[in-house]
């Protein structure tokens, strides 16, 4: 466990040096601030607008950062050959992989906290409130982004960043549209296509579950049980993705 | 030479690895049925030309590459197990490190990976940096280091766990003559401390100077394994005679030598076969009006065996 923590800490240190992450973070915060200007145009709706755009930005940019970190962190170590020095130590490849995942999870936590702080501060300045429901929304966004990162890590365990980025983006899109795809199922007559679609709908994570923006915007309370259930739902996907990634990574040659 | 016990530290048996390269997955056999063992306390050299399979063999030993067939064990533990590397330090060929870290930070990180006690690491890291000649720059970022300095950092991290076995892949690569000498001295000092060293190298004079035994790899196969005195018998290869004199007067001497080279400063270098009469040749020089500047016998060296094996396409 100490080894996993050490790898996670050094992975975090490496990740936070990446200028691309700061660019993404900059755009996210810029969008949150811009929503103040846009929101002020609608009478008595600025807080609601700000919340809507702010949570959307955090969610979107959090997932972009997760995909970026997931597809690059292990690949870069292979490309730069720094991996040889690490894997030649008495550590299991699973330990290394979990450490990298831990580093990504830490980086995402810091990035999301910064974005959440930007939104919360702006909300407070505009007369809005920051309550447990909003913190819960931040938490679910975090769980989603960690889950997306685990998918990216899984894809990165057997392919290049471009391919794994493309696949992860595909999973992300399906996850966003999974409810629409389920509704579309009834209209598909071709059995093979229907079975394929059924399989996709059954396996794909429903990312809409992690977004409670509508409930927050219109003041519908979300219970703690929901937060717990969705967290477990996300954890389930993370465990499966990481298990599969470690299974593949253990069999790889590092030439 | 240090004391070598009969305990086998590294055992490689029938190791094979084929890579599939390119779009058509063309098969390239990197290592073919390689077998050798390294005994405790010895310095073992793995030599061979580029593409001989040395690095692939060492990577299989370090668990970085999975063998297709055969086995590799360290201290009796299969090399695929992390536990086999507990008492092993490894320097990869041309090591790459996290360039944003300082040398001491990198070693601290690796100390964590070895599960070293924090206080032990704190004491050992400055000692090691001193030992590899980086004591004054341990607090500098690795991005500011030259290739030679990075190689020294690589050596320091290989020595970090006070390992019983140190595996070095081309440790002298990128080093200047002083650096090469330092590496040689470090390897020798490891032997004095009772450690076992397995290293690959192209620099045959160094191998000849410090190794107890060598394995010679060519084309993925181990062609020869043995003590240096078994492989290199030291027999006379030829005798080199350098002569000064009038070119026309010395013209007849070429027939007595196996090779003649005229040099710019008016000297001529003759190589005589071992069976040729040196006395007769020297007499002929004096008769032709020349003067003998030097006579040097050339004995068989590791390089001769190496070149002979490298030129031979397949193992007998």
Q: Say which range, A25-39, A75-89, B212-226, B251-265, has the weakest mean pLDDT.
A: A25-39
pLDDT value, residue B266: 81
pLDDT at A160 > cutoff 90: no
pLDDT value, residue A24: 81
- Residue pair B15/B60 in contact by the 8 Å Cβ criterion: yes
Angle at A83 between CA B52 and CA A86, to 5 degrees: 105
- Comparing CA positions, the residue from B125, B191, B182, B189 lying closest to residue B151 is B182
In a domain, A87, yes or no: yes
Exposure string (b/e) for A41-51, b if CB count within 10 Å is 16 or more? Answer: eeeeebbbbbb
Mean of pLDDT values over A159-169: 90
In a domain, A223, yes or no: yes
- Residue pair B89/B163 in contact by the 8 Å Cβ criterion: yes
Query: Pick from A82, A254, A255: which is nearest to B19 by CB?
Result: A255
- Comparing CA positions, the residue from A8, A40, A235 lying closest to residue A107 is A8
Q: Say which range, A44-48, A95-99, B6-10, B229-233, has the weakest mean pLDDT.
A: A44-48
Task: Give contacts of B56 with chain A, Cβ < 8 Å.
Answer: 255
pLDDT at B53 > cutoff 80: yes
Residue with tokens 């001497």: B253
* B151 phi and psi angles, rounded to 5 deg: -65, -35
Residue-range definition of the domain harbouring residue A211: 2-249
pLDDT value, residue B196: 93
Mean of pLDDT values over B151-167: 89
pLDDT value, residue B4: 52
In a domain, A254, yes or no: no
pLDDT value, residue A228: 95
User: Beta B267-272 vs B259-262: how paired, if at all?
Assistant: antiparallel
Residue A212 or residue B301, greater confidence = A212
Query: Pick from B66, B112, B157: which is nearest to A3 by CB?
Result: B112
* A210 phi and psi angles, rounded to 5 deg: -85, -5
pLDDT at B133 > cutoff 50: yes
Q: Is B195 on the interface with A (CB under 8 A)?
A: no
B287 by DSSP, 3-state: which?
helix
CA distance B175 to B178: 8
pLDDT at A27 > cutoff 90: no
Task: Give contacts of B66 with chain A, Cβ < 8 Å.
Answer: 251, 253
* CA distance readout (Å), A217 to A91, A209, A221, B200, B215: 48, 16, 10, 66, 73
- Residue pair A39/A50 in contact by the 8 Å Cβ criterion: yes
Q: pLDDT tens digit string along A217-233?
A: 888 888 899 999 999 99
- Tell me whether 0.85 is exceeded by the ipTM: no
Q: What confidence tier does B2 reach under pLDDT thresholds 50, 70, 90?
A: very low
CA B298 from centre of chain: 22
pLDDT value, residue B42: 92
Q: Which neighbouring-strand residues pair with B15?
A: B34
Query: Pick from B66, B82, B94: which is nearest to A91 by CB?
Result: B82
- Sequence-ordered list of residues with C-beta below 8 angstroms from that of A40, at least 6 positions apart, any chain: A46
Q: Which neighbouring-strand residues pair with B19?
A: B28
- Residue pair A245/A97 in contact by the 8 Å Cβ criterion: yes
CA distance B91 to B102: 18
Cβ–Cβ of A91/B112 closer than 8 Å?
no
Domain count for chain A: 1
Mean of pLDDT values over B215-233: 84
CA distance B92 to B43: 17
First to last CA, chain A: 28
Residue with tokens 């950092």: B153
* B162 DSSP 8-state letter: -
Question: How distant is the Cα of B262 from the closest Cα of chain A, in angstroms?
Answer: 48
- Residue pair B259/B272 in contact by the 8 Å Cβ criterion: no
Q: pLDDT tens digit string along A200-210?
A: 888 989 999 99
Considering only alpha carbons, which residue of chain B is nearest residue A5? B112
CA dihedral in degrees (A6, A7, A13, A15; nearest 10)? Answer: -160
In a domain, A255, yes or no: no
pLDDT at A154 > cutoff 50: yes
Edge-to-edge, what's the strand order for the sheet holding B26-39? B26-39, B8-21, B69-74, B77-78
Element (DSSP H or E) covering residue A217: helix A213-217
Task: Give contacts of A3 with chain B, Cβ < 8 Å.
Answer: 112-113, 115
Q: pLDDT tens digit string along A44-62?
A: 566 777 888 889 888 998 9
B275 by DSSP, 3-state: which?
coil
Q: How many CB pairs under 8 A join A and B?
A: 78
CA B91 from centre of chain: 13
pLDDT at B211 > cutoff 70: yes
CA distance A177 to A169: 12
pLDDT value, residue A44: 57
Chain A residues contacting B via beta carbons under 8 Å:
2-3, 6-7, 10, 13-14, 17, 80-82, 84-92, 95, 251, 253-255
Mean of pLDDT values over A98-120: 92
CA distance B172 to B170: 6
Q: pLDDT tens digit string along B257-290?
A: 888 988 888 889 999 988 888 899 999 999 888 8
In a domain, A130, yes or no: yes
Query: Pick from A3, A6, A90: which is nearest to B83 by CB?
Result: A90
Mean of pLDDT values over B114-124: 89
| Domains in chain B: ranges and CATH | 8-231 (3.40.50.300), 236-299 (3.30.70)
Q: What confidence tier does B1 reach under pLDDT thresholds 50, 70, 90?
A: very low
């Amino acid at each position: 466990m100490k080894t996993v923590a050490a790898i996670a800490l050094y992975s975090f240190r490496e990740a936070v040096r990446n200028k691309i992450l700061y660019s993404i973070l900059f755009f996210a915060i810029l969008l949150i601030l811009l929503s103040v200007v846009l929101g002020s145009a609608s009478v008595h709706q600025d807080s609601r607008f700000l919340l809507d755009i702010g949570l959307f930005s955090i969610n979107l940019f959090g997932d972009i950062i997760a995909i970026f970190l997931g597809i690059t962190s292990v690949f870069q170590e292979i490309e730069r050959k720094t991996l040889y020095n690490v894997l030649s130590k008495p550590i299991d490849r699973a330990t290394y992989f979990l450490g990298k995942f831990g580093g990504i999870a830490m980086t995402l936590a810091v990035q999301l906290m910064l974005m959440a702080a930007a939104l919360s501060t702006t909300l407070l300045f505009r007369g809005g409130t920051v309550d447990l429901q909003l913190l819960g929304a931040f938490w679910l966004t975090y769980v989603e982004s960690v889950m997306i990162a685990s998918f990216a890590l899984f894809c990165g365990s057997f392919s290049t960043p471009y391919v794994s980025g493309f696949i992860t983006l595909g999973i992300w899109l399906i996850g966003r549209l999974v409810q629409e795809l389920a509704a579309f199922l009834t209209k598909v007559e071709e059995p093979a296509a229907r079975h394929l679609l059924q399989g996709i709908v059954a396996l794909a994570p429903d990312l809409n579950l992690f977004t409670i923006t509508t409930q927050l915007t219109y003041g519908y309370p979300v219970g703690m049980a929901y937060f717990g259930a969705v967290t477990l739902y996300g954890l389930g996907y993370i465990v499966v993705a990481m298990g599969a990634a470690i299974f593949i990574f253990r069999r790889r040659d590092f030439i | 030479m240090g004391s070598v016990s009969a305990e086998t530290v590294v055992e490689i048996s029938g190791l094979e690895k084929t890579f599939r390269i390119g779009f058509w997955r063309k098969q390239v056999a990197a290592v073919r049925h390689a077998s050798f063992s390294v005994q405790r306390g010895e310095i073992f050299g793995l030599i061979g030309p580029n593409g001989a399979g040395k690095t692939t063999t060492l990577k299989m030993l370090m668990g970085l590459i999975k063998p297709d067939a055969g086995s590799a064990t360290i201290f009796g533990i299969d090399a695929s197990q992390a536990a086999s590397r507990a008492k092993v330090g490894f320097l990869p060929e041309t090591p790459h490190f996290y360039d944003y870290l300082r040398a001491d930070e990198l070693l601290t990180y690796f100390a964590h990976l070895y599960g070293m006690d924090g206080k032990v690491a704190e004491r050992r890291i400055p000692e090691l940096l001193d030992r590899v000649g980086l004591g004054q720059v341990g607090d500098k970022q690795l991005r500011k280091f030259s290739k030679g300095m990075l190689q020294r950092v690589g050596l320091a991290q290989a020595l970090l766990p006070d390992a019983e076995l140190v595996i070095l892949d081309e440790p002298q690569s990128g080093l200047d003559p002083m650096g090469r000498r330092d590496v040689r001295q470090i390897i020798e000092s490891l032997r004095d401390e009772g450690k076992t060293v397995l290293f690959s190298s192209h620099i045959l004079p160094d191998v000849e100077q410090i190794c107890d035994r060598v394995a010679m790899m060519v084309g993925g196969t181990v062609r020869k394994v043995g003590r240096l005195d078994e492989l290199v018998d030291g027999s006379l290869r030829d005798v080199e005679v350098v002569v000064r004199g009038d070119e026309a007067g010395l013209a007849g001497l070429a027939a007595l030598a196996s090779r003649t080279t005229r040099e710019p400063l008016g000297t001529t270098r003759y190589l005589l076969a071992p069976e040729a009469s040196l006395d007769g040749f020297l007499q002929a020089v004096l008769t032709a009006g020349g003067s003998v500047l030097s006579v040097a016998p050339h004995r068989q060296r590791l390089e001769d065996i190496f070149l002979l094996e490298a030129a031979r396409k397949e193992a007998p």
